[in-house]
Amino acid sequence: MLVLRKSADRGYADHGWLKSFHSFSFAGYHDPKFMGWGNLRVINEDRVAAGMGFGKHGHRNMEIISYVLSGELAHEDSMGNIKGIPPGDVQRMSAGTGVVHSEFNHAKDQTTHFLQIWIEPNQFDIEPGYEQKTIPAIEKDGVLRLVASPEGNDGAVKIHADAKVYAGLFNGPQSATLQLDPKRKAYAHLIRGSLNVNGQPLSEGDALLIDGETQLKIDGGKDAEVLIFDLSH
């Protein structure tokens, strides 16, 4: 089963300093048909204006991944981490028993564009944790590069959730396949460009909800950047 979710059908919020597209129900956007997919709960595509950001706020029992596309995200949390997250870095924060953090764009003339992703954990009330890794573009070129997994293998960040996240850059004749367990769900989110996933054309911001399939095939990319999620039911 393949279900196309068009970019324009996502929720949208314009707070002036923050412009955010919501793939699933979040804050003031509610759609009972899109409350999440498997254990994937949130994909927010955020653009934070120069000099602005999210003040201190708390999370519990959620695996939170930040994937920065342009600009830089400044992160500070109650675990003592003070980090800058540039494009190409993947950040994982395990909220566990509770963490307070803030995220800011300290640039004076550049918008920070990033994806904030929430995945429901399979371990609850763990000690909060933080991890950040650089994934060079060359490692994503024409392949699906593992960027988050329960084992933290192959240079991926480790998440306390039954899910794997892959990132890839595809252009021209490049293609890739990923074997899927038909008893699980998968989700493809196209960040930019255009791409075919299992024969379904996707444009920037589109997504494909996948269930009961044995394989995922990517081809027909044009300046494409994509995230693929392998998810529990």
Which segments are annotated as binding site for Fe cation? Answer: 57, 59, 101, 103
Average pLDDT over every residue of 102-114: 90
Contact (Cβ atoms closer than 8 angstroms) between residue 103 and residue 115:
no
Segment 135-185, tens digit of pLDDT: 999 999 999 999 999 999 999 999 999 999 999 999 999 999 999 999 999
Tell me the two tokens of residue 181. 């367990």
Measured CA to CA, the distance from residue 157 to residue 32 in angstroms comes to 31
Measured CA to CA, the distance from residue 162 to residue 123 in angstroms comes to 10
pLDDT band at 81 (very low <50, low <70, confident <90, very high): confident
Q: What does the angle CA 204 – CA 206 – CA 208 come to, to the nearest 5 degrees?
A: 140
The confidence score (pLDDT) of residue 60 equals: 96
The confidence score (pLDDT) of residue 233 equals: 84
Share of the chain above pLDDT 90, in %: 90
The confidence score (pLDDT) of residue 220 equals: 97
Which segments are annotated as binding site? Answer: 57, 59, 101, 103
The residue written with tokens 């960027």 in the block is 147
Residue among 47, 28, 50 at smallest CA distance from 116: 47
Residue among 120, 192, 127 at smallest CA distance from 163: 120
Residue 104 has pLDDT above 90, yes or no: no
Contact (Cβ atoms closer than 8 angstroms) between residue 69 and residue 114:
yes
Segment 122-139, tens digit of pLDDT: 999 999 999 999 999 999
The confidence score (pLDDT) of residue 228 equals: 98
Radius of gyration of the chain (CA): 17
pLDDT band at 106 (very low <50, low <70, confident <90, very high): confident
Contact (Cβ atoms closer than 8 angstroms) between residue 202 and residue 188:
yes
Residue 44 forms beta bridges with which residues?
22, 116
